[in-house]
Chains A and B, each alone.
Chain A
Amino acid sequence: MPAQADWFDLARKLDWEFSYVSERDVYPEPLSGSPWLGHASWEGWDEPYRTSFSEYVEGQSKKEAAVRAVRDAVGQVDDFQRHDRAWLSTVKLHAATFSLAEFAAVIGNLRAARFARDSAWRNTALLGALDELRHTQIPLFILHELVRWDPQFDWTHKFYHTNNWVAIAARHLVDELLLTSNPIEFAVATNFVFESGFTNLQFVGLSSMAHGVGDRMFERMLQSIQTDEARHAQIGGPVLEVLMREDPEYAQALVDKWFWRTWLFFSIVTGFAMDYLTPLEKRVQSFKEFVDEWVLDQFQRVLKQYGLALPWYWDTFIHSLDYYHHMVYASAYSYRATVWFDFVLPGPNERAWLAEKYPSAWGEFEPVWDRISERWSESGPGVEWYVHGATPIGFCNLCQLVLSGGTPWRNTARVVMLKGRKYVFCSEPCQRIFEHEPDRYEDHLNVVQRILAGHAPGNVLELLRSYFGLNEFDWGKDVRHGAYPWLGAGSTDRNKGVVP
C-alpha cells in the first residue's frame, strides 16, 4: 500500500482538459458563478486543511460516538428539565433556526461539489456537504425526544416549514445564502463571512456559556459542529484570493452584503442568548464583549490580509453593537406569543449588569423595561395579554425582520419609492443591498404586504394561530408568567430591587 503522501495530491487534485465539450458547458456561469474564468485561473486553488476521505470518515465517526455518549449520559429529557427555563429558550431558538439551515448548506456545498472550478475545491465542498448533513441530524436526533415533554422543541424541525415571521426572515436569508447561491458567492458569503466571521462567536462563545450553565449536551453539540465548521470554512480564503485578483470590486460587494445580512441574524440569535436568556450568574461576557473578542479583531485582520476594506457601513455596524439586539429583544418580548420560545423579563440585577456592559446605550432601554414591568405590576402574574402588543408591527423589505434599526429615540427605518412601489427598510445597509439587486428581492412580500394582499390575517391573534403556526401550547410566554419577586409596589424603580 503506497503511503498517503504518494497518492494524495493526485486524488485531491484531478482536473483535465475537455475534448468534446467546452469548459463553459461543463461549468456554466449561472451555476459556477461570476466572474467566469478558465481553469487556469483556479488551478492554484489550495485548501489549508487537507484530509482524505478515509481520514474524514474515521474522524467523524469518533465525533459521532462522543456526541452519542454525552447524549446517553446527560442528554435525556430529565437532564433538560433541570435547566433554567430561560436557558432552554436559547436551545429552542438555536435548534429551530440552525437545524434545517444546515440542510440548506448541504445543497449549497453539493452545488460547489459539482460546479466549483477546481477539483480540490470540489472535494472539500463534498466533505462540507457531509458535515452539514451531520449538523442537521444532530439537533433533530437529540431534541426530538424532548417534544413529548415540551412542544416548543417541535420547532426544531417545524420552523422552516412555517410562515412564522422569524421563519420568513430566516428563509429569506438562508435561501439566498445557502440554497441558491453559486459556488463563488457561497464560498465568500458562507465559508468566509458567515463561518469564518461569525461561527466562532456562535460555537465557541455560546459553547462556553453552555458550559457555564451546565448544559453539557448543548456544549458538546456546539463543539462537535465547530470542529467541522473550522475545516470547511477554509474554502472561502482560496476563492477570495482569486476573486481579489480578478474582480476585487465584486469581492468587496459580496463581503459588504453578506456581513450585514448575517450580522442581523447572529445579533438576534446570539445576542438574545448571551445578554438575556443565560442566567445572570452564569454569564461569562456580554454579547458585545464576545463580538469584540471573537469577531472584530479577527475579521478586521483577515479583511486586511486579503486586501479588502472594511464594509462601507462599518460605523453603523459598530453603533448597532450597543443597540440592535436590545431593540429586537424588547420588541419580541412584547410580541412573545408570535414566536415558539419563551422570554425572561430582565430584573433589577440583570438591568444593572446590562447598564454596566452597555453604558452608552442602556439608559434608552430602561424606560421600556420600566413600562413593561409596570404593566406586569398592574395586571399581576399570569395575565400575559395585558403585557403584550396587539397592533401589527412593520417588517423590513430586505431582512424581513422588525423595524428595529437605530435607537429608541432615532429609529432608522425609511420608506422608499422604487419603480412606483413603496418599500420600507430598517436601515441604510438593508436599503442599499436591496437597491443593488432589486430584481432579486422586489417580488418577495414581507408580513405586512402579505396581510394587505389578503394572504395573512391582520388580527394579531388570528395571524399567529392561522399563519404563524402557533397555538396556546407552544407560543412564547414569559418564563415566569410575570411572577417575579421584585415586581410590586415600587418595583419599576430599578435601584430598589437590586440584590447585592
Chain B
Amino acid sequence: MIPLHGFVPGDTCGVLVLVERQATIATLAALLAQAASVRVAPATTSAVRFEGRVLDSTVTVAAAGLSPLDRVDLVVGRR
C-alpha cells in the first residue's frame, strides 16, 4: 500500500488515500472520488493526472511510477 496526496476538483482540501501498488489507476480514481464524496458529488467519468499528464486508467499504480506522498489529481468529466 502507498499513501498519496489526492485532490478532487471542487473540493476544499487534500485527502490522503492508501492504494495497493498493483491496483489500477481506475481504482485509484474511484478511491479519490470516494474520499471526497461528502463534499463533492461523484462525477460521471474520471481519470488521474500526475505531474501534468493524464495516466492510463488500465495501468497499475506501480507501473505509473507513483511513489509515496506524491500528489495526484482527479480529472473529472463535468464542468
Contact = CB atoms under 8 A, between A and B. Distances in A.
B35 to A, nearest CB: 4
B15 interface: yes
A216 B68 CA distance: 51
Interface stretch (B3-11, B22-30, B56-64): B3-11
Given A371-B40, A388-B38, A413-B7, A422 B13 contact: no
Interface stretch (A65-73, A175-183, A259-267, A402-410): A402-410
B49 interface: no
Interface string A173-211: 000000000000000000000000000000000000000
Interface stretch (A16-24, A241-249, A327-335): A327-335
B21 interface: no
Interface stretch (A115-123, A225-233, A352-360, A391-399): A391-399
B13 A327 contact: yes
User: What is the predominant secondary structure among interface residues of chain A facing chain B?
Assistant: mixed
Nearest to B3: A452
A380 interface: no
A372 interface: yes
Contacts of A422: 68-70
B12 A328 contact: yes
B18 interface: yes
B16 interface: yes
B17 interface: yes
Contact of A415 (B9, B11, B18, B69): B69
A349 to B, nearest CB: 21
A413 B13 CA distance: 9
Interface of A: 326-328, 330-331, 334, 364-365, 367-368, 371-372, 374-375, 387-389, 391-394, 402-404, 408-409, 411, 413-415, 422, 424, 448, 452, 458
Interface of B: 3, 5, 7, 9-18, 34-35, 38-41, 68-71
24 contacts: A328-B12, A330-B12, A330-B39, A331-B13, A364-B10, A365-B12, A371-B39, A374-B41, A375-B38, A387-B38, A389-B38, A391-B16, A394-B5, A394-B13, A394-B14, A394-B16, A403-B14, A411-B7, A411-B11, A413-B71, A415-B5, A424-B71, A448-B16, A452-B68
